Chain A
């Protein structure tokens, strides 16, 4: 099984343009997450979804939106990119959001540069 896939692998984007980062999982996990990882900082949660049809805001949601139309897909959209959104973006999933050793599985990441 593929686990979690993300697309694109990397992207250079002009400031002001919009972009959607794609994330698909085949593990039938209920919960999905979007993080950004910046040098010297821990992973920061952007948005999450406990189950299909619901989404929630994380620590740094401004400038980003998500949707969860089905179990497998969790796209992240930047409506009007700014240079401070230059980062590595990781999508993750877990069986549920709570309960025990509920490890999160991560996709390979998307490296985004906004110029």
Chain B
């Protein structure tokens, strides 16, 4: 079956760095997406990886290892506004997104 695993909740300190891991198993693979979702709001796109390696975009970076079925989202210089859920989603061979349950990130001052 198809499955996405990510931690349910993480806590980090303002100004620090946090890494949110995601492992996936899909029928075929057409890329890995990360979305941010603030409480009560819609998900918004953060990053996309389809090749192995690190993609950097400002304070956020995303890494992919296709051979290991593994990705992580790295958030640097954490700010209070980064408190949100982070959703990992893998695109399968039918171009449908398989979503993880999300990681709730709590930032403490």
A-side residues, CB < 8 A to B, are 40-45, 48, 58, 90, 97-98, 100-101, 103-109
Contact = CB atoms under 8 A, between A and B. Distances in A.
Contact of B87 (A43, A44, A48, A108): A43
Contacts, number: 45
B45 A103 contact: yes
Interface of B: 4, 30-31, 33, 41-45, 48, 50, 87, 89, 95-102
Helix, strand, loop or mixed for chain A's interface?
A: loop
A44 B99 CA distance: 7
Contact of A40 (B31, B98, B99, B101): B101
B62 to A, nearest CB: 11
A104 B42 contact: no
B99 A104 contact: no
A42 B30 contact: no
Nearest to A111: B40
